[in-house]
A and B are shown apart, each in its own frame.
Chain A
């Protein structure tokens, strides 16, 4: 599988990653800024996400959100943005002949947004509604509580959108100051994938770069303190189902063992042939929804198991899930199961890279966070290189970490959950 991406250094420290995909009709472009919610110390919780919303409210040339949307949707394209814990991304996917327009709109919103006081107040109400909405969505709530347990007192453990308190307190000056400090060229990687010419794309991007090119200090945030003990966090809700997240700290995306962790998660709880699905749902009939997942950051990460279960079966499901997790640290995964997990992981990655959007994000993400780009073939080789012994070693390492568990459901007490994880 060929990869023909090129990385170009642009003026001011910005970088462009472009991959020609000449057979496609679309081109996807992304402006990805280092940063995100983990940099938000003190009372600034949620400011990155707030800014991402505000950038769609209007610029000098396109004074309303409708004009921003019309510019892209008027040619059949899509435009959106997302805030994550270590980055914020603005993207558009358009028919290839409209790539210049896509860049023009994206650079316009990040460099020329008006950030009016009235828009700040309106958007604050929208975000507060969004935050209150999470409280009514137990699946979101239980994951947020789990991340609070995994990274207590650290910005990584807080909802990307902030808290009701922090969002209520953010001022327009806080927002302007944050934009001024973080939306700078050295923090930017521009990505493009689709039917494009790299040299021409570099010219279009260079003309759009109107942001400041100096850095206002290092973009750094503290590493979370190690966890010393297992903990349970119960939020009582009179829900029909109990929602449970349990897991432990795991590897960062810079750790060479991250491929082993990905395969461990696949074997444990990704898809309908995973151990959690087959044993807890199919064989024991304990839970309707059970799966595992990981989150990885520069210096930390976690593996989590989600269980959606009838309350009276919750303790049984937790114990069964823990048995599956512990088994990975006791016995090596069999050859055929490992081979299946590798094909699953490699197949999912290849499917993800079917679209121009998938390729643009994948390349840009690697350049911004890892500082280098592995080709798809290199990634597939790294997955193939993982052995059953590697997975067992990673499982043993993970199981040395204190287990954490969040529970949302109709429970007055958490005693049995604490006993299950030794808390």
Chain B
């Protein structure tokens, strides 16, 4: 997820690849262990599907990462 978030603003990576990576994340068990992670990933996937700007997608992915980090440190 970290690398996808970092590369979401990179024009080399395609929206399809980002979407696939997010879908892979959504299948992980850890996603449901921490509040809001699934919600933010869902937002990110919808944003990719709707053709939202790359930094918009990156922001939602960073939010998912932030929630994950916060959840796992508590």
A interface residues with partner B (beta carbon < 8 Å): 311-316, 319, 411-413, 415-416, 419-420
> Which residue of chain B has its CB nearest to the CB of A419?
B63
A311 near B60 with CB under 8 A, answer: no
Q: When the two chains form the complex, which single residue of A313, A412, A415 contacts B60, counting CB atoms closer than 8 Å?
A: A415
Closest to A411 in B: B52
**Chain A: interface secondary structure?**
helix
Given A416-B60, A419-B63, are A313 and B55 neighbors across the interface (CB < 8 Å)?
A: yes
Question: Any chain A CB within 8 A of the CB of B25?
Answer: no
B53 touches A415 (CB 8 A): no
CB of B41 to closest CB in A, whole Å? 11
Residue in B46, B51, B60 whose beta carbon sits within 8 Å of that of A419 in the complex: B60
Count: A-B pairs, CB below 8 Å:
49
Minimum C-beta distance from B70 to chain A (A) = 13
B residues contacting A by CB (< 8 A) are 40, 43-44, 46-47, 50-60, 63
Q: Which of B51, B54, B55, B56 contacts A415 (CB 8 A)?
A: B56
CB of B53 within 8 A of CB of A315, answer yes
A315-B59, A415-B56, A416-B55 given; 17 more Cβ-contact pairs under 8 Å: A312-B53, A312-B55, A315-B58, A319-B59, A411-B52, A412-B52, A413-B43, A413-B50, A415-B43, A415-B46, A415-B60, A416-B60, A416-B63, A419-B40, A419-B59, A419-B60, A419-B63
The CB with the most chain B CB atoms within 10 A, among A311, A413, A415, A419, is that of A415
CB distance from A236 to the nearest CB of B (A): 11
* Chain B residues, CB < 8 A from A412: 50-52
- A240–chain B nearest beta-carbon distance, Å: 14
Sorted nearest first, the 7 A-B pairs with minimum C-beta distance are A415-B43, A416-B59, A312-B53, A412-B50, A416-B56, A419-B63, A315-B55
What are some 17 contacts across the A-B interface (CB < 8 A)? A311-B53, A312-B54, A312-B55, A314-B56, A315-B56, A316-B55, A319-B59, A412-B52, A413-B43, A413-B56, A415-B40, A415-B46, A415-B56, A416-B43, A416-B56, A416-B57, A416-B59
Residues of B within 8 A of A419 (CB): 40, 43, 59-60, 63
A413–B44 CA distance with the chains assembled, in angstroms: 10
CA distance A313 to B63 in the complex (A): 18
The chain B residue sitting closest to A418, CB to CB, is B43
A residues in contact with B53, CB < 8 Å: 311-315
Q: Which residues of chain A are near B54, meaning CB under 8 Å? A: 312
